[in-house]
Amino acid sequence: MTTQIRNEVLLEGVALETPSLSHENHSTRFYRFPLQVPRLSGQVDVLPVLLPEPQLAQVKEGADIRIQGQLRSFNNRSGVGSRLVLTVYAQRLSPGLDEPCNQILLSGTLCKPPVFRRTPLGRSICDLMLAVPRKYGRADYLPVIAWGQLAVRAGRLQVGDFLALEGRVQSRTYHKVTDLGTEERVAYEVSMMHLLENAPAEEPEL
């Protein structure tokens, strides 16, 4: 199995808002907006997208957009919501082809023991945490969920094992009990569709 790193996202959906300023880094401003991507089931995923200012003019509210990029993670220091925040970093944007798409190709190293369990109806499910290195010693820590026979296979993996997969980026609503009551929050994760073996890969463009 290859041990090269891969982090490639391809999305097409509708921009729900005009991008708003997120932050500035190394004299470049970055903007954020939500992208709505339909599933075959009829449900939708609403995914956070980050883009640099030079690409800002390509995004308008209600526009159909195709995005190539990477899935990035950073630690949330606000104390609100998940400690690990996921964002799709847009490297290339183009007008949509009216062909909704949600695909991610990932490879990296398992950095936590798999958590295997069964639903009340007996379906297998497994939660994984994949470390995907970037340049300059950094890494993205990406939660992955697998179902059925993929969950059974994933549950046999050990910390340090290399894993390559194809899947989709999905949003999931959950309820969190806090001191102020129950709050509705949104989590993001990679839903594994296929395990890839001996797949060719290249270093991600950063």
Residues 50 and 115 in one domain: no
Residues 6+ apart with CB under 8 A from 137: none
pLDDT at 84: 80
| CB atoms closer than 10 angstroms to residue 131 | 18
Q: Report which of 68, 73, 149, 147 is spatially closest to residue 108, judged by C-alpha positions.
A: 73
182 belongs to a structural domain: yes
| Terminal Cα-to-Cα distance of the chain (whole angstroms) | 24
Cβ proximity of 174 and 185 under 8 Å: yes
127 belongs to a structural domain: yes
28 belongs to a structural domain: yes
200 belongs to a structural domain: no
157 belongs to a structural domain: yes
pLDDT at 106: 96
Which of 100, 122, 156 is a domain's end point? 100
Residues 90 and 146 in one domain: no
Residue 65 CA to residue 56 CA, distance in Å, equals 12
What the block records as the tokens of 79 is 């104390």
Residues 80 and 156 in one domain: no
Residues 6+ apart with CB under 8 A from 140: 7, 70, 71, 72, 73, 131, 132, 134
The CATH number of the domain holding residue 132 is 2.40.50.140
Question: Half-sphere exposure (CA, 13 Å, Cβ side) for 87?
Answer: 16
Which of 40, 71, 100 is a domain's end point? 100
Provide the residue range defining the domain that includes 136: 105-195
156 belongs to a structural domain: yes
177 belongs to a structural domain: yes
Question: Half-sphere exposure (CA, 13 Å, Cβ side) for 130?
Answer: 30
Residues 160 and 75 in one domain: no
Q: Report which of 58, 21, 50, 55 is spatially closest to residue 188, judged by C-alpha positions.
A: 50
Residues 15 and 64 in one domain: yes
202 belongs to a structural domain: no
Q: Report which of 98, 103, 107, 100 is spatially closest to residue 128, judged by C-alpha positions.
A: 107
Which of 79, 100, 121 is a domain's end point? 100
The single-letter code of the amino acid at 10 is: L
Report how many domains make up the chain.
2
Listed as ranges, residues in the chain with pLDDT below 70 are: 1-3, 76-82, 197-206
pLDDT at 80: 57
